[in-house]
C-alpha cells in the first residue's frame, strides 16, 4: 500500500477543486488533488461546457433551417440542412477533451500531484484512494472537500432506458422525436430548447406556476414567448407521476387532471444534490445545513483543518462561485488573510433568449426595506439588436431611491450573458446610477442598453 504525505489535499478536480489546487501550487504549497474521473468535474465534462456547445450547434442548425425555409430576412438562401447528432457530439467531445487536457497541464505546471481514483475518508486528515494500480493512502495537514453534485433522481422516475439525466442527454447519438423535460429550471429549458431547435417535439412539465421560478416574471416572459413560438408545450402546476404501463409515455397530473404524454426520452432535470455520500464523508462528524456541508465565511467546516467548497456546500451551485471559493481557500492555507465578502454572484440562464441577473431584483430590494428606482430599456430601441434580428428583451437597473446606489442589474436578450461581468463589477465597486450614465458605452452594442437603463432610472433616457 503506497502512502503520500502533503500539506494540502484537494478532493475533486472540478472548477473549485482544480482552481484551489492550482493557486495553492502557485503559492508553493505541497498539494495533491484526487479525482475519480477526468479533471474539470461536472461543469467541464458533462455540464456547462458540453451543454453550451450543444446549444450553439442547435442555434446554428436552426438558423440554417430558417434560411432554407425561405424565412431569411437578410436574403440568404441555403439548401435544406440535416443534422448528424453523433457528429455534433463528437465535436462537443473534442472541445471537452481540449479543456480537460488544459486543466491537467495547468495542474502539472503548478506542480500539483494528480491521483486518479475514488476516495474514502479514514479520518479528517487521511483518505484511501482506490486507483487502477491499487490502494493509495494520502495524509494531509489540510483537506479541501470539493466533491460537487449529482442530478436529483425522482423515485417515480428512476434513471434508465427512456428516463435520462442531463448527462445522458448530452451523449445522445440521435435527435429524439418526442422529448419530455421534467423540470422547467435552467437546465431543463436550456437542453429542451436546444433539442427543439434540432428538431425534437419538446414538452416541458413544471410543478410550479412558472418556468424558471428563481427569476421574476418580467425576465421570464420573453423566454416563454419564444418557447411558444417554437412549438414547445409547457405544462405548469403539473407533476410527473411516473411512466405509463407500456413505458413509452409519462403520466402527469395538473389543473386539467391526469393525462398521458408519449415520449421517446424523458429528461429529468429537477435539480442537483451534493455528492456527499459514498466517499466516507458521512463518517466524518461535520455540521450540515440540510444535505449540504455547513461552512463559515472562510469555507471552514466544523472540523479543524477541513474546508469545503462548491456544490457540496449548497446554493448557488455555480462553477464561478466554486472557483472563487477555491482560490480564496488556497490563499488562506498559505497564510493570507481572506474572507468571503462578495456582494453578488451573477447567475445566467442560457435559454433563448438568455437571462442574466446580478444583485437584487426590484421585489427583493423592496423586501429588504429599500425604496428603489428602476430603469428598464428595451432592445427594440437598440440598434445593434435590430441588426442582429433579435430585439426581444431589455436591460434593467435597480437602485436605492435616496442615494442612487446600484443594488441589482438584470437583462434578458440575445447574448446578454456577456454583460454579466459588467453587472457584477458595477455592484462590487459600489456604483451609482450617475457612474453608469457617465461612462461612455461603445456604439453600436447591446451594452448601450445598460447606460440607457441608468439614464431612465434618473429620469432622462435619451433613446426612448
Q: Which residues pair with 82 in a beta bridge?
A: none
Q: Which residues of the chain fall short of a pLDDT of 50?
A: none
Task: Could you list the beta-strand ranges (E) of 237-305.
Answer: 239-243, 249-254, 257-262, 265-268, 272-274, 288-289, 292-293
Contact between 322 and 311 (Cβ < 8 Å): yes
Q: Which cell numbers hold the place of 448? A: 448601450
CA 119 to chain centre: 26
Q: In this predicted model, what pLDDT tens digit does every residue of 294-305 receive, in sequence order? A: 999 999 999 999
Q: Which cell numbers hold the place of 424? A: 457584477
Answer yes or no: same fold for 2-55+85-150+273-333 and 163-270: yes
Q: Among candidates 153, 166, 180, 160, which has minimal Cα distance to 251? A: 180
Task: Could you list the beta-strand ranges (E) of 12-146.
Answer: 31-35, 113-116, 118-123, 126-131, 134-145
- Give the pLDDT of residue 71: 61
Rounded to whole angstroms, what are the CA distances from 130 to 149, 302, 315? 20, 27, 30
Q: In this predicted model, what pLDDT tens digit does every residue of 75-100 receive, in sequence order? A: 777 888 899 999 999 999 999 999 99
Residues contacting 412, CB < 8 A, separation 6+: 219, 222, 223, 353, 354, 355, 356, 392, 393, 394
Q: In this predicted model, what pLDDT tens digit does every residue of 311-350 receive, in sequence order? A: 999 999 999 999 999 999 999 999 999 999 999 999 999 9
In CATH, 347-457 is 3.30.2130.30: no
Give CA–CA dist 231/224, Å, rounded: 11
pTM: 0.94
Rounded to whole angstroms, what are the CA distances from 8 to 3, 305, 336, 399? 15, 10, 15, 43
What are the domain boundaries of the chain?
Answer: 2-55+85-150+273-333, 163-270, 347-457
For residue 228, whether the previous peptide bond is cis, meaning omega lies within 30 degrees of 0, is no
Structurally, what CATH architecture does the domain formed by 2-55+85-150+273-333 represent? Answer: 3-Layer(bba) Sandwich (3.50)
Give the angle 43-235-56 at the CA atoms, nearest 5°: 35
Which residue, chain included where needed, has cell 469545503? 308
- Give the pLDDT of residue 282: 80
- Give the pLDDT of residue 73: 63
The fourth-level CATH superfamily of domain 163-270 is FAD/NAD(P)-binding domain (3.50.50.60)
| From 265, 320, 441, 443, active-site residue | 443
For this structure, is 443 an active site residue? yes
Amino acid at each position: 500500500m503506497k502512502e503520500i504525505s502533503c500539506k494540502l489535499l484537494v478532493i475533486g478536480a472540478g472548477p473549485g477543486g482544480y482552481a484551489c489546487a492550482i493557486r495553492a501550487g502557485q503559492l508553493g504549497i505541497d498539494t495533491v488533488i484526487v479525482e475519480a474521473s477526468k479533471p474539470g468535474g461536472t461543469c467541464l465534462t458533462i455540464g456547462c461546457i458540453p451543454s453550451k456547445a450543444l446549444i450553439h450547434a442547435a442555434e446554428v442548425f436552426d438558423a440554417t433551417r430558417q434560411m432554407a425555409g425561405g424565412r431569411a430576412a437578410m436574403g440568404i438562401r441555403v439548401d435544406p440542412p440535416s443534422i448528424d447528432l453523433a457528429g455534433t457530439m463528437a465535436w462537443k467531445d473534442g472541445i471537452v477533451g481540449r479543456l480537460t487536457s488544459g486543466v491537467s497541464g495547468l495542474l502539472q505546471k503548478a506542480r500539483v500531484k494528480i491521483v486518479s481514483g475514488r476516495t474514502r475518508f479514514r479520518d479528517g486528515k487521511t483518505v484511501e484512494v482506490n486507483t487502477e494500480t491499487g490502494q493509495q493512502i494520502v495524509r494531509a495537514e489540510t483537506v479541501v472537500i470539493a466533491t460537487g453534485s449529482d442530478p436529483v433522481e425522482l423515485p417515480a422516475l428512476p434513471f434508465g432506458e427512456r428516463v435520462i439525466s442531463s448527462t445522458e442527454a448530452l451523449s445522445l447519438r440521435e435527435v429524439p422525436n418526442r422529448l419530455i423535460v421534467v423540470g422547467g429550471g435552467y437546465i431543463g429549458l436550456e437542453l429542451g430548447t436546444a433539442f427543439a431547435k434540432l428538431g425534437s417535439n419538446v414538452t416541458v412539465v413544471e410543478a410550479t406556476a412558472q418556468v424558471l421560478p428563481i427569476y421574476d416574471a418580467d425576465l421570464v416572459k420573453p423566454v416563454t414567448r419564444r418557447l411558444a413560438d417554437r412549438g414547445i408545450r409547457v405544462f405548469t402546476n403539473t407533476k410527473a407521476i411516473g411512466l405509463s404501463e407500456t413505458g413509452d409515455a409519462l403520466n402527469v397530473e395538473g389543473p386539467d387532471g391526469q393525462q398521458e404524454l408519449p415520449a421517446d426520452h424523458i429528461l429529468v432535470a429537477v435539480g442537483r444534490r451534493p455528492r456527499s455520500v459514498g466517499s466516507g464523508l458521512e463518517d466524518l462528524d461535520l455540521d450540515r445545513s440540510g444535505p449540504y456541508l455547513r461552512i463559515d465565511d472562510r469555507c471552514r467546516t466544523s472540523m479543524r483543518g477541513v474546508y469545503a467548497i462548491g456544490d457540496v456546500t449548497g446554493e448557488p451551485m455555480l462553477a464561478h462561485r466554486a472557483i472563487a471559493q477555491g482560490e480564496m481557500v488556497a490563499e488562506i492555507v498559505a497564510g493570507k488573510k481572506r474572507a468571503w465578502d462578495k456582494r453578488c454572484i451573477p447567475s445566467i440562464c442560457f435559454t433563448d433568449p438568455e437571462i442574466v441577473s446580478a444583485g437584487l431584483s426590484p421585489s427583493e430590494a423592496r423586501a429588504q426595506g429599500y425604496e428603489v428606482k428602476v430603469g428598464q430599456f428595451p432592445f427594440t430601441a437598440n440598434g445593434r439588436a435590430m441588426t442582429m434580428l433579435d430585439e426581444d428583451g431589455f436591460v434593467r437597473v435597480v437602485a436605492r431611491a435616496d442615494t442612487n446606489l446600484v443594488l441589482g442589474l438584470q437583462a434578458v436578450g440575445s447574448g446578454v450573458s456577456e454583460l454579466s461581468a459588467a453587472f457584477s463589477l458595477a455592484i462590487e465597486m459600489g456604483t451609482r446610477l450617475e457612474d453608469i450614465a457617465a461612462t461612455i458605452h461603445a456604439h453600436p452594442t447591446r451594452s448601450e442598453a445598460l447606460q440607457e437603463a441608468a439614464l431612465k432610472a434618473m429620469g432622462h433616457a435619451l433613446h426612448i
